[in-house]
Amino acid sequence: MKRESLLAIMITTVGWIIIMLYLLPFIWMVGTSFKPIGEWGVPILLSQNPTLRNYAEVLITGGIYGVRGHFPPIIKYLINSLIVSICVAFLTSFLGAMTGYAILRHRVGGTGFANWILSLRMIPPVVVLYPLVVMTKTLALHDTLGGLILVYPLITIPIATWFMIGAFKSVPKETEEAALLDGCSEFQVFYKIALPQATTGLATTFIFTFLFSWSEFLIPLLLAPSERAMPLTVFAAYFSNQYGILWGPLSAAGVIISIPVIMLAVFIRKFIVRGLTMGFVR
Amino acid sequence: MIFQSFNPLIDIAPRFAGLRNFFVFISDSEAHYAIMIMLLLTAITTPIQLGLGILFGILLSSKYLHGKSILTSLFIIPMSIPSVIIGLNWKMIFFTKGPLNAFLESIGISPQPWLSTPFGNPFNTIFSLAILDIWQWTPLIALAVASGIESAPTDVRESASLDGASEIQILRYIVLPMVKSIIIIIFILRIIDSLKIFDIIYMLTFGGPGNVTTSLPFYIYKVGFTLTAANADLGYASLLAVTLLFIASMLIVFTLMRVFNVKKVLWE
C-alpha cells in the first residue's frame, strides 16, 4: 500500500510539472499582457507592478500610450467575429442536423454521400480559395459579413453533419415510428420528436462550429480585407506583422481572443477529441 | 483556370495559355522546393507528435494520477487557441531578445537565431515551425490515446496483473495493442492536416527569410493572392492548387478506403 501511494505522488507531480512546462508559452503571453510599457521585452514572467492598461487600450481607446491611430481599438473586430461566429453556428447546426438526420434515417445519397461530406473537411482550404473569391465578388458579397457567413459553413458543415449523425444514432427509432403512425409529417417527426432528444449533440455541434469559425484565418484573410468585415484573427495577424515588438498590447489582444474559445472548449471537453477526429474514433 | 493566364495587375481578362502553366511548373524550382518543405514539415512533426502523444496519453490515463479532470482541461488549451494567436505567442517566445534565448543564456548556451538564417541553412526556421505544430497538436493524440485506454475493458489488465505481469509489460503487450487502431487513424489524420499548415507560417515567418519556409499552401497564397512571387499569376496558382488537391486527395482516398468503413459506423 505504501508503495502505491508513493507512486501516486510521483506520477501526479510529474504530470503537473509536464503540464505546467507545456503551457509555459501561453502563461508567458498572459504574463506579458499585464506588463507596463518598458518591461515587454524583459524576460521575467510576472511584472513587479502589473497593470491593466494594455487591456483598456486594446479594447476601448486604441493607440499605444496616448499615440492615437497607432493601434485601433479591437472592439469593432470583436463584434464582427462574434456576429459571424454566432450566425455560422446557428446556420450550421440547423443544416447539419437536417443533413445528419436525412443521411442516418433515410439514407440520402447512399453510402458514399457521408464519405463525400467527410472528405470536404480534409481538403486544404487554400485549394478552393480562388473560386470562392470570384464567387463572392460576382455576388457582391466580397468583404461583407454576409459573405463570410455563407462561406464558413463549407468548413463547418462536415463536422456538424457527422456530429449530428452521432447524436441521432442514440435516439430510439421506435418513438419516431410511433409518431409517424399517429399522423405526424416527416418534418414534424424531425422537429418535434428527434431534435429534442438530441439536444446535447446539438449544443455540442453549436459550440464546435463556433470554435471553428472563431479561429478561421485563411478565408477571411482574402474574403474580408477591409475593416468592414475583418474578424479578430486577421486583425491580430496584420498588427503583429506591422508592430511586431509591441508585445504588451499584442499579448492582451491574444488573450482576449483566446479566452472565450478556451472556456467553451473546456466546457465540451468530453467531445473535443471526437470532434477533431470526427467520426473516425468512436 | 489551369489552362489560362491571368495577372490582375497587368491583364484585363484571363487569357488562354494552353499548356504554358505546366511548363512553368516543371521548371519552377521554387514550387518544387515548396512541395519538399511541405512534406518535410509533415515528416518532422507527425512522428514526434505521435511519440509524445502516446507518452502523455499513458500518463494521463494512469490510475495513480490525481486531479485528472483539471489536467485534461488544461491540456485542451493549446488545441483550442486559434493558430494565429499561437503564432503570435511563439513569435514572442522566439524573439531574438525573447524569453527562450534569455533562458538559454542563463544556462550557458549562446542565443539561437530561431527565425532567421544567418548561415544560409534553413533548418532552424523549419524546426521552429515544427515545434509550433507539435506543441499545438500533441494534446489531441494524447487525449485520444487516454480516452481509448480508459474505454478499453479492464478485466484483461486485471487478470494479467494477477498472473504476475509487470506494469510495463501490461502497457506494452495489452494496453497498446488495444488502442492501436485509434493511433493509426489519428496518425493519418495528422498527416492530412499537416498538409494544410498555413496560419503559423503566415504569422511566424511569412514564408521567409527569403523563401526558406514557403510550403506549398503558402506558395499558392503568394503566387495567386499577393502577386509578389516571381511567377505571380492566378492561372498558375490554380495549377498549384490542383497539384495540392491531388496530393491531398490521394491521402484522403487512402484513408476513407482503408481505415474507415462508413457502412460499419452508420448502419451496422
Name the residue among A28, A126, A276 with its Cβ closest to that of B241: A126
pLDDT of A41 reads 67
pLDDT digits (tens, 9 = 90+) for B81-116: 888 888 888 888 887 677 777 777 777 777 677 776
- Residue at A139 is within a domain: yes
- Residue at A256 is within a domain: no
**Are A38 and A100 contained in the same domain?**
no
For residue A42, what are the domain limits? Answer: 2-61
**Are A83 and A211 contained in the same domain?**
yes
- Residue at A269 is within a domain: no
**Are A137 and A204 contained in the same domain?**
yes
Residues in B touching A1 (Cβ below 8 Å):
none
Each residue's pLDDT expressed in tens, for chain A with a length of 282 residues: 577 788 888 888 888 888 888 888 888 888 888 888 777 766 677 777 777 777 877 777 766 655 555 667 788 888 888 999 999 999 999 999 998 888 888 877 776 777 777 777 778 888 888 888 888 888 888 888 888 898 888 888 888 888 888 888 888 888 888 888 888 888 888 888 888 888 888 888 898 889 888 888 888 888 887 777 888 888 888 777 666 567 788 888 888 888 888 888 888 877 777 666 655 544
**Are A235 and A118 contained in the same domain?**
yes
Number of independent structural domains in chain A:
2
Residues in A touching B147 (Cβ below 8 Å):
273
Give A174→chain B minimum CA distance, Å.
Answer: 16
The answer to whether residue B217 neighbours chain A at the CB level (below 8 Å) is yes
**Are A12 and A130 contained in the same domain?**
no
Phi-psi category of residue A230: left, alpha or beta, with phi > 0 → left and psi -120 to 50 → alpha: beta
Chain-chain contact of A217 with B81 (C-beta, under 8 angstroms) = no
Buried b (16+ CB within 10 A) or exposed e, A191-221: eebbbebbeebbebbbbbbbbbbbbbbbbbb
ipTM over 0.90: no
Name the residue among B85, B102, B245 with its Cβ closest to that of A257: B85
**Are A148 and A206 contained in the same domain?**
yes
Pick the closest to residue B34 from B231, B253, B219 (CA basis): B219
**Are A189 and A217 contained in the same domain?**
yes
Ordered by start, the domain boundaries in chain B are 4-267
Residues in A touching B98 (Cβ below 8 Å):
41, 43
Chain-chain contact of B186 with A111 (C-beta, under 8 angstroms) = no
**Cα(A53)–Cα(A223) distance, integer angstroms:** 33
Give A183→chain B minimum CA distance, Å.
Answer: 26
- Residue at A67 is within a domain: no
**Are A184 and A227 contained in the same domain?**
yes
Under CATH, what is the fold of the domain B4-267?
MetI-like fold (1.10.3720)
**Are A38 and A170 contained in the same domain?**
no
Residue A204's CATH number: 1.10.3720.10
**Are A152 and A221 contained in the same domain?**
yes
Residue B193 pLDDT > 80: yes
The answer to whether residue A185 neighbours chain B at the CB level (below 8 Å) is no
The vertex-B146 CA angle with B141 and B151, nearest 5°, equals 130
Looking at A208, A227, A242, the residue that finishes a domain is A242
Chain-chain contact of A236 with B84 (C-beta, under 8 angstroms) = yes
